[in-house]
Structure formats: structure tokens, C-alpha cells
């Protein structure tokens, strides 16, 4: 049995999430359908990082096992043909053989997310960023972002019905940047993230950047371990899974 990793990108607007769901349009369902069409066999997929409905990914992974052993050229041809089958909002970037014990979820050492906020109306950001037409103090946002790196328990930023076995996460990077005038990006890297965590962090930090919430109040929300105090209301389409990292930082 040979194991393969599929690297892919997708625009998440049309999908109910990454992982297959009953009676829902998902990224995994589209990939499985394309694989079955091209390889003429049913290949069960395991995903690396789940994304919610509407969330995008610059890089994510699936793995599958096959009785067939594909060489590099066969994998390259498969990428070309699968992309011809898949809809325009999903692209396979590579298929590569890995060791039999490799696991695209459990072998990942970190994941990177970017959440984009823009202040001025822009039709080219409408489906990839959150329109938030208010003055933002970048200095205050970064003070809040830096505070997060001093904590490991993020229960306050886990949505209800979170099925994680622990709320502990290690944040390696937490930083806001103004990429261009009026466009702010929150970049965060961690070993793992809870369901809805990045959107909860962004939604709770933005009032700090607007001067509506003090750093002490933000710190209290972190330490309260009470998700009802956090703000998860920022839209999914502002969030992108930027990378799944398999090498030590």
C-alpha cells in the first residue's frame, strides 16, 4: 500500500467547509469525485486541517492510500488532469508519495492563518476580506496580539461544541501588519487551533484597535476561559489558511 499527500488551494465561498459532510457541498467531496473519475477507484481521503464554511486556503493537504505505486511523472500528469476535472475554485498543486507512516494531520508541526480586514470599499477584496470601515490603531492591535503569545489555554476563543481534547495551543507568531493603506492582516502561527479560534481572536482584538476595549479588558477575556465574552462575529471569508508546515520552525 502506497501513501500520497495531495497539496491544494481553494476559494471557500461556495463550500460548507473542507471536510466531507452529509448533504453538503464540501472541498473533500469535490476532490473525491475527481479522484474517482480519473483513477477509476474510490480513494478515501484524510484531511490535514479543517476549515469552516466560507474559509479559504492557500495551502492544505489530503492524504490517500492506493494499491498502485505512482512515479513522479504519473503524479504530475494526474495533477494536470484532476485540475481539468475540478471546479475553478479548487486547484491541486502537487501529489507526492510519502512514507507509509506519514500522516498529513498529525505530522504537521504548525499551521499559519491570515485574517484580512479593509477599511475602504474595494470590490477586489469583497470576497476575501472583512470590510470594517473604522479607524484602527495598529499599535494597540499589536499589543493585544503580543499578549496572546504569553498564554497556552485558549478556551475563551473556542466555539461552543468544540470537540478538541484540550484547549491548549502554542502560538509561535501573532502579529498585525498594514499591508497597504487601510488593509490590515493578522498573521498567526500555532501548533494547533481550536474551532473558530482565529475568528474569535480577530473579532475580540478589533475593539482594542478601535479603543473600545482596553488591553486589561482583553487580558481578562483571555483569562476568563468564557467564550461568551469573545466576539466570533467576523465573517468567514476574511480568513485564509496560509500554510500547513511539516518542518520544525
Active site residues: 52
Dihedral over Cα of 95, 34, 192, 220: its sign = positive
**Cell output for 12:** 471557500
H or E element that contains 9: strand 2-10
Do the Cβ atoms of 188 and 113 come closer than 8 Å? Answer: yes
Do the Cβ atoms of 18 and 27 come closer than 8 Å? Answer: yes
Do the Cβ atoms of 3 and 63 come closer than 8 Å? Answer: yes
Do the Cβ atoms of 32 and 45 come closer than 8 Å? Answer: yes
Instruction: Report how far residue 169's alpha carbon sits from residue 148's, in angstroms, rounded to the nearest whole number.
Output: 10
Instruction: Report how far residue 139's alpha carbon sits from residue 39's, in angstroms, rounded to the nearest whole number.
Output: 52
Amino acid at each position: 500500500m502506497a501513501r500520497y499527500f495531495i497539496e491544494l488551494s481553494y476559494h471557500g465561498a461556495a463550500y460548507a467547509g473542507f471536510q466531507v459532510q452529509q448533504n453538503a457541498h464540501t472541498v473533500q467531496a469535490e476532490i473525491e469525485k475527481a479522484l474517482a473519475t480519473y483513477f477509476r477507484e474510490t480513494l478515501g481521503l484524510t484531511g490535514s486541517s479543517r476549515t469552516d464554511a466560507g474559509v479559504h486556503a492557500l495551502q492544505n493537504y489530503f492524504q490517500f492510500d492506493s494499491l498502485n505505486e505512482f512515479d513522479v511523472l504519473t503524479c504530475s500528469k494526474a495533477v494536470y488532469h484532476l485540475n481539468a476535472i475540478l471546479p475553478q475554485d479548487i486547484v491541486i498543486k502537487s501529489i507526492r508519495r510519502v512514507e507509509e507512516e506519514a500522516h498529513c494531520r498529525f505530522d504537521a508541526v504548525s499551521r499559519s492563518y491570515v485574517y484580512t480586514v479593509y477599511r475602504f470599499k474595494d470590490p477586489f477584496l469583497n470576497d476575501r476580506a472583512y470590510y470594517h470601515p473604522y479607524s484602527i490603531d495598529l499599535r494597540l492591535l499589536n499589543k493585544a496580539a503580543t499578549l496572546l503569545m504569553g498564554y497556552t489555554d485558549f478556551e475563551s476563543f473556542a466555539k461552543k461544541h468544540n470537540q478538541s481534547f484540550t484547549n491548549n495551543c502554542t502560538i509561535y507568531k501573532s502579529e498585525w501588519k498594514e499591508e497597504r493603506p487601510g488593509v490590515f492582516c493578522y498573521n498567526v502561527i500555532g501548533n494547533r487551533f481550536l474551532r473558530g479560534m482565529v475568528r474569535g481572536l480577530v473579532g475580540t482584538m478589533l475593539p482594542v484597535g478601535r479603543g473600545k476595549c482596553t488591553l486589561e479588558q482583553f487580558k481578562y477575556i483571555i483569562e476568563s476561559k468564557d467564550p461568551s465574552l469573545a466576539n466570533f462575529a467576523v465573517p468567514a471569508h476574511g480568513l485564509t489558511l496560509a500554510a500547513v508546515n511539516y518542518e520544525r520552525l
